[in-house]
Structure 1
């Protein structure tokens, strides 16, 4: 009972530290909610629509005009303008007035009428690969549909029935099933990762500053006194409030935020709870270790703020792990966010349960065990040092 009371006293101390420190208020209370909505809204639309495109129609026939109408009807394409010469193509793409130029040659309709191969050229701004991939896919869809339409008309002219003409026009049919992200939404893929990074970095920077503040204000002795010289009690009290606060944030992010951004949570909430607690615990322990080495809050903040991008890249979320160097993959397994992102992606998008993420759970348990021992050793060493200084 005495140990529990000591933990509560340390929790009260942490809460008082936060509400009397503007830096910590901003980091723990304002930043998570602001950045989670702010960054998420950048990808609110999730799928690109009506990407501006220019057309240079050298053929000027009814067939080419019909093709332009079909292209403009595609949800990913917006025919912004028609060019008057080939010389304008490079300038339009360089100035990014359009993201693609479609060139219809002067023999387009002639070749169609003679049942010859008829080609169109697509100039893509591949500097912006997201636009170029979507536009390339959209133009190919329209071209394939147009080609099938022409083949159907040809077979109908040869006396085949409508059903036979359609079968002959497209004898090889594919059946594509889009699993886990049927809308192929970039937002559905990226927004959960953004929410995770907000959780990770605000907790990492905030608790790291809190630990550095112990050194800056020379008040680590208070932890020793309140805990009864028990490193485990001191550690439990130091991180308990932050674990509770950030677990509440995690619940809000993956319920309210996903609902606002219209992302379906398909998996197991029990799996989500287990993996989230393990992540928050590991980030808290890492924060205490890093913060222990700084004598000023601002120094801890500066260092930790630079970890956001490296930690994200090592997770393999933005670039697949199988394409990463072996050393980078090895480092990734040492970072708790890697296991968490892999697990959350499968839980949210793929409907995973606890049985599907056992490897990630075990990975985080091992990381937590190592970090827990290190923090206990740090606290024990600090307590001994404080004791020797007081003698």
Structure 2
């Protein structure tokens, strides 16, 4: 068997010679970080162009249009008398939304009967569509409150009491951890970490598949578990060192470049990142051992990125998922790590505040090691049978 340093040297040669691994692990993390980051570089969008279709042509409908136009986030580009006319600039992406004010809007509103308005949004840009939706809702709530207040005043109710009755609950929103109250600032840090996770899984997995098919692990039946782990530790050394360096570069250069906050101890960030990378490495070895070709591994893992992100619980609460998905999510290293990172980076948490996530990651590491041992025993039993048939 090759020595540990011989395997280390062979792995470096493989990384340099295999263009797929080289591009995935050395080029893709930085390239995709700036590519994805540039999409959210304008995280605080404003003056989003929209169109208005006013079927009512009333004083109130015109007032609504004026208020929406003076909003910081939206700007009315044009008014149309028919939806068909408004759809033309919408389909050409000249406007990002269409507000439809129905006939009878003023009459129903003033009579407190309620009137339904419609918004057509371009959801390919969820940041802009979300801002349009919020701006229109805020204006409509303001107008509705004013109408109710005038109604109460007309019934000889004092102004202060009329104001309370018109808006009995006044929402007060104070952004604590996301000071800009912007979804881009919330989402982008995790997308950057997801880039590191997926490029590590794809690149290192290709190396593991190659090792089982062409490298020293081709004759894995001749190994004991200690020698098996020795080979894999030598192969993974470069990747662990490289990706810890990536985490440091992301924290110190890329996060500040995109004006993303990173609170908490940088040393604690790196220690937990090391544990996270180690868990990802263990599970990558385990699952890559089931694949016969590097192309098959790459195809499956490339398409797993978005589903794994959705299941991790960052964009949707795990508690709201079906029980089966909850169990699956808690087996993913990204689930506890995303929570840990969010607590550290945005809330400035300390180690004692994230012990649950830390032990969750540690448990996944130990469980992965145990599963890898079981997988190794299975391979040992299975391979000699193949040899005998051949």
TM-score tier, shorter chain, comes to 0.7 to 0.9
* Distance change >3 Å, CA 266–CA 87, structure 1 → 2: same
* Distance change >3 Å, CA 248–CA 87, structure 1 → 2: closer
Residue 193 of structure 1 is aligned with which of 157, 181, 190? 190
Aligned residues: 375
For residue 205 of structure 1, what is the aligned residue in structure 2?
Answer: 202
Q: Could you tell me how far apart the structure 2 residues matched to 1:168 and 1:303 are?
A: 58
* Distance change >3 Å, CA 11–CA 225, structure 1 → 2: farther
- Deviation for aligned residue 1:132: 5.1
For residue 119 of structure 2, what is the aligned residue in structure 1?
Answer: 124
- Deviation for aligned residue 1:175: 2.8
For residue 69 of structure 2, what is the aligned residue in structure 1?
Answer: 72
Residue 354 of structure 1 is aligned with which of 345, 351, 356? 351
Q: Given that residues 333 and 364 in structure 2 are in contact (C-alpha distance below 8 angstroms), is that contact kept between their aligned partners in structure 1?
A: yes
- Deviation for aligned residue 1:25: 0.8
- Deviation for aligned residue 1:374: 3.7
Residue 314 of structure 1 is aligned with which of 311, 314, 333? 311
Q: Given that residues 101 and 124 in structure 1 are in contact (C-alpha distance below 8 angstroms), is that contact kept between their aligned partners in structure 2?
A: yes
Q: Given that residues 10 and 238 in structure 1 are in contact (C-alpha distance below 8 angstroms), is that contact kept between their aligned partners in structure 2?
A: yes
Output aligned runs, 1:236-275, within 5 Å.
Answer: 236-275=233-272
For residue 50 of structure 1, what is the aligned residue in structure 2?
Answer: 47
- Deviation for aligned residue 1:10: 2.9
* Distance change >3 Å, CA 289–CA 171, structure 1 → 2: closer
Give the SS at the match of 2:359. Answer: helix
* Distance change >3 Å, CA 218–CA 78, structure 1 → 2: same
Residue 18 of structure 2 is aligned with which of 13, 18, 21? 21
Q: Could you tell me how far apart the structure 2 residues matched to 1:294 and 1:275 are?
A: 29
Give the SS at the match of 2:202. Answer: helix
- Deviation for aligned residue 1:172: 5.6
Output aligned runs, 1:106-125, within 5 Å.
Answer: 108=106, 122-125=117-120
TM, length-normalised to structure 1: 0.79
- Deviation for aligned residue 1:250: 1.5
Q: Could you tell me how far apart the structure 1 residues matched to 2:314 and 2:105 are?
A: 46
- Deviation for aligned residue 1:271: 3.6
1:101 and 2:96 correspond: no
Larger mean Cα displacement after TM superposition, 94-103 or 203-212: 94-103
Q: Could you tell me how far apart the structure 2 residues matched to 1:377 and 1:56 are?
A: 65
1:179 and 2:146 correspond: no
Q: Could you tell me how far apart the structure 1 residues matched to 2:276 and 2:27 are?
A: 21
* Distance change >3 Å, CA 266–CA 225, structure 1 → 2: same
Q: Could you tell me how far apart the structure 1 residues matched to 2:281 and 2:96 are?
A: 47
* Distance change >3 Å, CA 216–CA 356, structure 1 → 2: same
- Deviation for aligned residue 1:148: 6.9
TM, length-normalised to structure 2: 0.79
Q: Could you tell me how far apart the structure 2 residues matched to 1:363 and 1:337 are?
A: 11
Runs (5+) with no aligned partner, structure 2: none
Q: Given that residues 98 and 121 in structure 2 are in contact (C-alpha distance below 8 angstroms), is that contact kept between their aligned partners in structure 1?
A: no
Runs (5+) with no aligned partner, structure 1: none
Q: Could you tell me how far apart the structure 1 residues matched to 2:115 and 2:77 are?
A: 18
For residue 30 of structure 1, what is the aligned residue in structure 2?
Answer: 27
1:140 and 2:137 correspond: yes
For residue 369 of structure 2, what is the aligned residue in structure 1?
Answer: 372
Give the SS at the match of 1:176. Answer: coil
- Deviation for aligned residue 1:277: 1.2
Larger mean Cα displacement after TM superposition, 71-80 or 93-102: 93-102
Give the SS at the match of 1:46. Answer: coil
